[in-house]
Structure formats: C-alpha cells, structure tokens
Amino acid sequence: PSSESYLRGEKIIEVARQSGAEAIHPGYGFLAENADFARTVAEAGLTLIGPPAAAMELMGSKTSARRAAIAAGAPVVPGTTEPLASAEAARETAAQFGYPVMLKAVAGGGGKGMRLVASADEIDSAFANAQSEALAAFGDASVYLEKAIERPRHIEIQIFADTHGNVVHLGERECSIQRRHQKVIEECPSPIEDANLRERMGAAAVEIARAANYVGAGTIEFLVSDVTREFYFLEMNTRLQVEHPVTEMVTGIDLVREQITVAAGALLSFTQEDLQWHGHAVECRVYAEDPEQNFMPSPGRITNLRLPAGPHVRDDGGVYAGAEVSIHYDPLISKLATWGRTRREAIERMRRALDEYAVGGIKTTLPFFREIMRDAEFLAGQLDTGFIARFNERREPARKATDENETDRDEVARRDMAIIAAALAHAQQNRAATSNETSQPPVSQWRISGRIAQQHTRDLF
C-alpha cells in the first residue's frame, strides 16, 4: 500500500542520505503537498524541490487559500472560509447560498472528499461521506462549502516563481473533462482562445502566488463561466501538475528542469515577455479503469503493450508487458500527449496515437478517448465539467442500436447454426442407412480389370 511505500517520508529521506543526494523531488503525489514532509526534509539538511512549507500550508488548505485569494483581490466562488462544524452548520450555510452546493475537503485535492449536494435532504449523507473520504485520503476530516457553479469550465493557470521575487504565468490549461471531479483530458491553450481572458486570469494567478510568498511551480485553478467569461478562484495546487506536459509542448519550457534550477537558487530562465504559445496540445490520462462500468478500477496483469510513437507524440508511462496494476495505487498508467499547429491537428494526431495504443489483460480508458476525439461537442470546444455525463447520454441511443443489431445478428447466427446442425444430422443419418443396406465390401476395380484381361487371354487360345 502507498502508506507503506512512497508516503513513508522518513524512508525517502533515509534513502536520499544513503545515496548522497542533495535534493528530493516529490513528484505530484500527496507528499508533494505535505508541509510536514517539507519541514522534515529541510531539517535533514536536504532541499525539497517544491515550495516552502509555509506556502504549502497556506495554499494547501482550501479555506486559508480562499482567504489569501480574497486578500490578493481575486474573485472567489461564494462559500465559507472556515471548516464546517457539523452537518447542521452545512445545512444552514447551504440555505443562505442556495442549492446546489459543493462540500469539499479542506486538505483536499484530486477530487477526494467532494460531494455535490442538490437539496437539503442530501446534506447529512453527503457531509458524512465527504468527511470520511477526506479523513482517509488526507488524515483531516474538515470540509467546507461552496456555491456550485452550474456548467462551468475548469481552467487553470500554470505559475512559476523563483527565490529572487520573479513570478510569471505560463498560460492556461483547459481541464473541464472530468470523472469523479478528477481530470481525464487536458488541453493547452483552452479552446476559448481568448487572449484578454488569459491576461486577466494570469495576472490574478500571479498576484495570488505573490501573496503566498510562493516559490517553484504551482497551479491556480479557476471556474470560468462560458457565457460571461467571468472567473472565480477555486484552489491552488502547490506542486507540479499531472498535466504539465501540454504546457511544456506549447511553451517549449521544461518545467521539471526549471523546478530543479529554481530549487538550487537560480533565477527563472525566462521572463513573462519571453513567453510565447505555439500551436495546441492535448493530453489523455490513460487509466486502468472500465468506462462502461462507471470508471471502476481494472487491476491485473498487463499481458501485452503497444505504445504509439511518431513526431509530436509523447507518452509518459511507467508500465510494461507483464507489469501488475495494483489495487493499492492510483490506476493512472500513462499520460499520452500530442501537439499540433492547430487544435484540429493536435486532435487528429491524438486519434492516430490512440488507435496505435494497445493494452492487453486489463480494461483501460483508451476506447473511451477514441470516441471523445470524434465527438461533435468536443471538436467544437463546447466543454464544461458536465461534459462526460452529456457525452454518455449522447452515445446511449447509438449504443442501444448497436446492442439491438448485435442481438439480431446473434439470433440470425443461432438460426443458421441450427439449420446447419440439422442438415449435418440428416446427412449423417443417410450415410448410416446406406452403409447398412450395402454391408458387402465394395468390389475392387483392379480385380475386375484383372478378370477381364484373363478372360481375353483365354479367348486367344
């Protein structure tokens, strides 16, 4: 289990000491946002490649992050700035803001400890479930409440700061396609392609990072109205994001390299004025999950693996044929990203890459992504956090028609097999009857020919 492996911070520090390492890169798992781990690393005389513990604590707590965003002048989703004491407090607060509302883990991330509540009748169970999930995932059961924004886009801004006071943003990523509040497809830039919106959101993200005295790579997440282009601060991820490859492919900036040099005390290698966005990139998170069963995990052994390749195709994966996908870890097995000069070209390249990709032995999200890359709403850039639910509704009639066609084909096949079986049985019976009527062995043609020749010789003499 993760609690006995990569979440054992003291073991990681011990390994770093034994190996002579000077720094630890925590990746993008839960340790990457663990302030206690950051302090322990510093106390051990090592460098954590990430933000300081104080910034993690401030922005890692969703309620204190909201307060910091408000202080920085950023618009926030209406909601509480303190944890809720009870389900009754949640009910009273929800009544003030109006339903629907969202309950969220204070220490949360990755969609854990979140519950959408449509009415007061759902508060008790949603509150208990959110607390339980938050405690299991983060060791903190605290939850807070936000007004749910209906059909919003989920757009995030990548920021970077060094220890010399420089803070820049690297543009936006569109992350609206989600299941269980966790992203599955990301793009850079957003299909909105609004330079003014990018500038306003980028400026707000930079101010929030400055208010937090932030250092390193981080992401400010916003909800955006597709109608009014208004945006609201959602939360900050104090780490490198899973979806960072799409930003790297469009900006040409190696974010991991930049993390390491900034942690070593160097200046950022670029300024805000240096940044340019070229083309478009799309990423699909390949999960060991069954999309036809509500994305249930599909653990097991990978029996065969064929990876896509080619220009502007990037697969960040760590599995191989024979590898075991465990129930103890996140089911993400690969991040597949493609780049194109236009969004359409990036999507067409992704289609080819997905068609080349093959994983045997387990269920994956690959077939699901192949369908989405050909979906009319997706191609039109009509995205929001409810996209997958609508997508499934759109494909349901086609799926039923396919099922009916398959049922018809199965019925025809069964009828044909019955006819064939009856014909074979009839032929077998005829052969048996013929065999019984002619019990004598057949006369040899060689013997007949021999007899004719013998008789002919006798006639000559």
Catalytic amino acids? 239
Show the CA angle centred on residue 369, arms to residues 288 and 1, nearest 5°.
Answer: 20
Q: Is 231 helix (H, G, I), strand (E, B) or coil?
A: strand
Q: 228 phi and psi, to 5 degrees?
A: -95, -10
Note whether 353 and 338 are within 8 A (CB).
Answer: yes
3-state helix, strand, coil in the chain (%, to 5): 45, 20, 35
Nearest-angstrom CA–CA distance, 243 and 193: 19
Q: Kindly list the strands in the beta sheet with 101-105, ordered across the sheet, starting from the edge strand earlier in the chain.
A: 115-117, 101-105, 143-147
Residue 446 CA to its chain's centroid (Å): 78
- Which residue carries 């950023």 as its tokens? 74
For residues 223 and 169, give the distance between their C-alpha atoms in angstroms, rounded to a whole number.
17
Q: Helix, strand, or coil here: 119?
A: coil
Going by their DSSP bridges, the two strands 47-48 and 23-24 should be labelled as parallel
